[in-house]
Structure 1
Amino acid sequence: MARPKAGGLASLEERDIDANLLNELRIDHHERDHDGSGTRRRWPVVVGGVFVLALLAGAGAWWFIAGRPAAVQTALAVAPGAGSNAAAVLQATGYITARRQATVSTQITGTLTQVLIEEGDKVQKGQVIARLEDSALRAGLNVAQANILAVQAQATQAQAQLAQAEADARRQTELAASGMSTRQAAEQARTAVAAAAAMLEARRREADAARAQLAQAQVNFDYTIVRAPFTGVVTVKAAQVGEIVSPLSAGGGFTRTGVGTIVDMDSLEVNVDVNEAYIGQVKADMPAEAVLDAYPDWKVPAHVLAIVPTADRGKATVKVRVALEQKDARMVPDMGVRVSFLGSKPDPAAAKQAPKGVLVPAQALAQRDGRSVVFVVIDGKAQQRPVKPAAQDVGTMKLLPDGVKLGERVVLSPPATLHEGTELRIDNEAR
């Protein structure tokens, strides 16, 4: 019974030894990544990391380039009337301004009791537009009027006393000549005449002073009445009844410094900023054509009034004053205007025959997906618009019957990378 038991133990030990030998012959999975020299093979990981870094770098470069605004040059779409005659020499933008406007205030500080204007009202020169509280000044005016009446009465009394003194002097002189009166009495009569004359002169001087005081009181009283300095239109109503108005600043208080603003609409003109590189092309009395942004189809004849002899260092521009040859109620101050400076006066007959559409430089056209397009600058971004240029060209300009509006700015020589919505940076705006 003991041998079989011993034999069973031996078989178990042999099986354990065989299992250990098999485990020693297995290849550990950690050793599979090493070559025969015992070095771990890392090249698949390295290649993968390089590939990922390359992708990240490319994405970063694309994001940096795509996020930057594209630098472009632009030009305005102009009306074919001027371009067809090759008369437009230069274009510039500006605003309507009034050479004659005033914020009307009072001569003295006071409280408003009446404000007789509203925005849009037409007023005539000298028309009353406001009144101040005037009780104190009216009382002073009444005192001055009473004072001059009193002084005038005293002057009349002195005049009568002088007449009596002169009559007495004549009688004393006659009596002295006949021996019926003494010479001393005649001399005293003449002295009385001189004294009466001096008194009358004093009363007259007092009357002059009283009249001056009355005039001063009248002027002060008139300061309570605010009048329009010239004929025009009220554009701003700056104060209300009950507010205090002063010709001087109140130092941040609630005192108003003006009642309203009046503009002489007959003095409207256009001020434009012309790039100093092109100012040599503008001359005094040069014909021009103005187009209001609010009314792009309305062309207003104009001419150069003056070139202001100073330049804006920051903008590198020179201000030019342009006179409008037609005035209209639609024109109001601070309206945006585009001015075309013309080499010669436009022909009205040719303007009527001008084709429909706008003119743009030929280099503004580009090809996208087999069709002609232009890129218009809208809020600093490129907007792609399909166009069909007309058959006839006007010099280097292309006629676009539709697709682009008058006054819009188009991109010149658009690059192939330019697309809808691209941020734009206008380096130098072409004419």
Structure 2
Amino acid sequence: MNQADLLKELRIDRSQREEHRAGPPRWLWPLLGALIVLLLLAVGAWYVLNQKAITVQTAVAVSPSSNPGAGAVLQATGYVTARRQATVSAQITGTLTEVLIEEGDRVQKGQVLARLDDSAYKASLMASQAQAAAAHALVNQLQAQAAQNERDAVRLESLVGRGLVSKQDAEQARTQVNSIRAQLISQQRQAKSADAQVTVAEVNFDYTVVRAPFSGVITTKDAQVGEIISPLSAGGGFTRTGVGTIVDMDSLEVDVDVNEAYIGRVKANMPAEAVLDAYPDWKIPAHVIAIVPAADRGKATVKVRVALENKDGRIVPDMGVRVSFLEQAVNAPAAAVPKGVLVPATAIAQRDGRSVVFVLAGDKAQQRAVTPAAQNYGDMRLLPDQVQAGDTVVISPPDDLKDGMRAAVAAKAQD
């Protein structure tokens, strides 16, 4: 091979040089772009999911020694009610001229609370009294006339025997006596009717004064001077049906709704303990009065009446209250305080066949496996370990709540 052939072999083909200089195939670039976009979307989705907080309801784990329902067979919530209360009104329609009450006033039975305009009723009473007086005066007149006619008739009858007067004159005198007696009887009955009218007028006149039906405390003042009050609703809202509401504070008790599935645990005269929502550290001894023999099908509950053994001015109607039904009275020897904490039963969820609770640590939900104790404390459950007193636990954890996820506590509704 000559030198020219060797040089020809060493020469690089131009087409091969252009192919090497072009780099990767052109179809590979769209695929790489799509992979990068998918990767960015996955990273963004992961970031959004981890940043979005799940809204949850929470409760605080408490020690059995500090829980007001510890040792309770059952717990239920309800309200303070008054067995004796009344909206005081007048029995007639009239205009108020005086209102002598204010909210919070203590009144005694028979005390005057308000007065109505009595001018018309007073005039009617005076007219009835005048008519009754006239009727009685006429009765007296007829009585005198009847006595005189009787004497005249006796005198004429005696003269008839001596032939001094005719028998007809004597009979006419006797007829006159009988006629006057009949008039007298009729007038006496009219006088009684007039007396009855006076009584009616007096009653109506007395209705213009509104009195307290029993001793108690005024809780509402519903009318002012100048307003029309009536026992019946009328006038398109311009007529008041009551002056105010009076409550007998000695009749306060508690009505609670007990789930019908647990009503068998409650017995009459069973000891209990009440804690007002307004005073959570004040435990009031109580006992069951009665179980109302009727169920609420909508709520699946049965009403239980509970008596408060200590009456106090801080207890007012419609206060929220939690009642713990006890196995033994509050002053009975207390059992040993169990180890662990109490949490609502709804805080315990099932995950992968295990009982778990979610404890909030900052804004993160930590899943902890627990083994609840066999003994129940009403609607609370005892957790011997894994949760400490004061920990915030999630109530009714959502199914999508996982360990380590962010959680936000739902704001409580304002009343």
In the TM superposition, 1:271-310 aligns within 5 A as: 271-310=255-294
User: Is 1:264 matched up with 2:248?
Assistant: yes
Consecutive unaligned residues of structure 2, counting only runs of 5 or more, are 1-14, 349-356, 367-374
Which stretch shows the higher mean deviation, 68-77 or 220-229? 68-77
Q: Which amino acid aligns with 2:40?
A: V
Relative distance call for 1:148 and 1:245 in structure 2 (3 A) is same
Cα distance, 1:166 vs. partner? 0.9
Relative distance call for 1:213 and 1:198 in structure 2 (3 A) is same
Q: Answer yes or no: is the 8 Å Cα contact 2:142–2:180 preserved in 1.
A: yes
SS at match of 1:102: strand
What is the total number of aligned residue pairs between the two structures?
370
Q: Which amino acid aligns with 1:101?
A: Q
Cα distance, 1:106 vs. partner? 1.4
Cα distance, 1:61 vs. partner? 4.9
Which stretch shows the higher mean deviation, 250-259 or 342-351? 342-351
In the TM superposition, 1:120-269 aligns within 5 A as: 120-269=104-253
Relative distance call for 1:251 and 1:154 in structure 2 (3 A) is closer
SS at match of 1:270: strand
Provide TM-score, normalisation by structure 1. 0.73
Cα distance, 1:333 vs. partner? 0.5
- Structure-2 separation of matches of 1:382 and 1:321: 43
Q: Answer yes or no: is the 8 Å Cα contact 2:227–2:239 preserved in 1.
A: yes
Q: Answer yes or no: is the 8 Å Cα contact 1:96–1:337 preserved in 2.
A: yes
Find the partner of 2:85 among 98, 101, 118. 101
Normalized per residue, the structure richer in helix is 1
SS at match of 2:408: coil
Let me know the Cα RMSD of the aligned residues: 4.2
Relative distance call for 1:278 and 1:341 in structure 2 (3 A) is same
- Structure-1 separation of matches of 2:365 and 2:129: 77
Cα distance, 1:200 vs. partner? 0.8
Relative distance call for 1:423 and 1:26 in structure 2 (3 A) is farther
- Structure-1 separation of matches of 2:183 and 2:60: 89
- Structure-1 separation of matches of 2:111 and 2:129: 26
Which stretch shows the higher mean deviation, 147-156 or 297-306? 297-306
Cα distance, 1:178 vs. partner? 2.8
User: Is 1:53 matched up with 2:37?
Assistant: no
Cα distance, 1:300 vs. partner? 1.6
- Which digits, 9 at most, give the CA deviation of each residue in 1:316-351, with x for residues without a partner? 222211111221111110111111101222325659
Q: Answer yes or no: is the 8 Å Cα contact 1:75–1:410 preserved in 2.
A: no
Relative distance call for 1:251 and 1:34 in structure 2 (3 A) is farther
* Equivalence for 2:408: 421
Cα distance, 1:260 vs. partner? 0.5
Q: Which amino acid aligns with 1:49?
A: V
Which stretch shows the higher mean deviation, 94-103 or 44-53? 44-53
- Structure-2 separation of matches of 1:231 and 1:131: 19
* Equivalence for 2:5: none
Relative distance call for 1:244 and 1:250 in structure 2 (3 A) is same
SS at match of 2:280: strand
- Which digits, 9 at most, give the CA deviation of each residue in 1:153-208, with x for residues without a partner? 00000100110111111112211223322221221111111111111111111111
Q: Which amino acid aligns with 1:50?
A: L
SS at match of 1:196: helix
Relative distance call for 1:347 and 1:193 in structure 2 (3 A) is same
* Equivalence for 1:21: none
SS at match of 1:322: strand
- Structure-2 separation of matches of 1:176 and 1:382: 129
Relative distance call for 1:233 and 1:197 in structure 2 (3 A) is same
Q: Which amino acid aligns with 1:52?
A: L
Q: Answer yes or no: is the 8 Å Cα contact 2:108–2:214 preserved in 1.
A: yes
Relative distance call for 1:418 and 1:347 in structure 2 (3 A) is farther
SS at match of 2:218: strand
- Structure-2 separation of matches of 1:362 and 1:230: 44
Cα distance, 1:315 vs. partner? 2.5
- Structure-2 separation of matches of 1:256 and 1:319: 33
SS at match of 1:193: helix
- Structure-1 separation of matches of 2:96 and 2:36: 84
- Structure-1 separation of matches of 2:364 and 2:36: 40
Identical aligned residues as a percent = 54
Q: Answer yes or no: is the 8 Å Cα contact 2:138–2:187 preserved in 1.
A: yes
Cα distance, 1:51 vs. partner? 1.2
Greater Rg, structure 1 or structure 2?
1
Relative distance call for 1:78 and 1:184 in structure 2 (3 A) is farther
Q: Which amino acid aligns with 2:195?
A: R
- Structure-2 separation of matches of 1:337 and 1:394: 21
- Structure-1 separation of matches of 2:113 and 2:341: 50
Cα distance, 1:297 vs. partner? 2.5
Provide TM-score, normalisation by structure 2. 0.76
Consecutive unaligned residues of structure 1, counting only runs of 5 or more, are 1-23, 366-372, 385-392, 426-431
User: Is 1:360 matched up with 2:338?
Assistant: no
Q: Answer yes or no: is the 8 Å Cα contact 1:76–1:409 preserved in 2.
A: no
* Equivalence for 1:17: none
* Equivalence for 2:31: 43
- Which digits, 9 at most, give the CA deviation of each residue in 1:5-62, with x for residues without a partner? xxxxxxxxxxxxxxxxxxx99979xx95872xx7563221111122133234435655
